[in-house]
Amino acid sequence: MAAVRLGFGGPVGSGKTRLVERLLPLFSEESISVAVITNDLVTDEDAERVKRSGLIDPERVLGVESGACPHTAIREDPSVNLEAAERLERRFQPDVILIESGGDNLAATFSSELVDWWAFVIDVSGGDDIPRKRGLGVLRADLLVVNKIDLAPHVDADLERITGDVSLARPDRASLFTDLRSGLGVKAVFEEIKRSALFGKLTG
């Protein structure tokens, strides 16, 4: 059976790798078999970080070079990611593959050819006007994660305004607020994945 493929996109430094790291133990607790693909812009740093985390068999983590085209590798031409996913499926038969995009712009989206469901991760320190700008990532993602809410008072980000803008931009789609450094909100993200991507099929 093909794995359920979950995409994680968003700007550089928004917390995509941290979210993947936070989700891995939750998948493990529910005996959901996972593999990970990271798309690094310049290095295989993210792949190495996940491998070293001790949260997953390092063999189940693949780093993909996207030729300086992070959005191309997840949208227009996802060949390199499709090939990596097929390789992981052949070798490990995972239930779920987490595909982390390289840091990208606000218009980045995942091809439905590559993933079954995807989340867009932004953070309040990147500017509290991001939801108001209504980039495609914010509008189209199955789940919007607004991360680093603990930093809001330190960067003059108005959390109330962000919440209002998110509601207006995504009236019918899920959005969650997190502080992934402390783990705040990660359980809600996992529950949303189970509800809207896995449909409860893989959970005990």
Binding-site residues from annotation for GTP: 10-17
Cβ proximity to other proteins, 34 vs 99, nearer residue = 99
Among 13, 26, 33, 41, binds other proteins (CB under 8 A): 41
Site string for other proteins, 67-106 (x = CB under 8 A): xxx--xx--xxxxx-xx-----------------------
What is the helix (H) or strand (E) element at residue 175, kind and residue range? strand 174-177
Backbone angles phi, psi at 118, to 5 degrees: -150, 155
Residues tagged in the binding site annotation: 10-17
Q: Does 42 bind other proteins (CB under 8 A)?
A: yes
Residue from 14, 17, 38, 66 that binds other proteins (CB under 8 A)?
66
| Burial grade of 200 (CB within 10 A; 0-12, 13-18, 19 or more) | exposed
| Helix (H) or strand (E) run with residue 189 in it | helix 186-196
Select from 15-23, 28-36, 66-74, 92-100 the region that touches other proteins (CB under 8 A): 66-74
For residue 182, what are the CA distances in angstroms to 18, 19, 90?
A: 11, 11, 35
Structure tokens at 157: 């980000």
DSSP letter for each residue of 125-150: GG-TTHHHHT-HHHHH-SEEEEE-GG
Residue closer to other proteins, measured from CB, 77 or 158:
77
Tell me: does residue 38 bind other proteins (CB under 8 A): no
CB of 170 to other proteins, least distance (A): 29
Question: Rule CB under 8 A: which residues touch other proteins?
Answer: 41-44, 64-69, 72-73, 76-80, 82-83
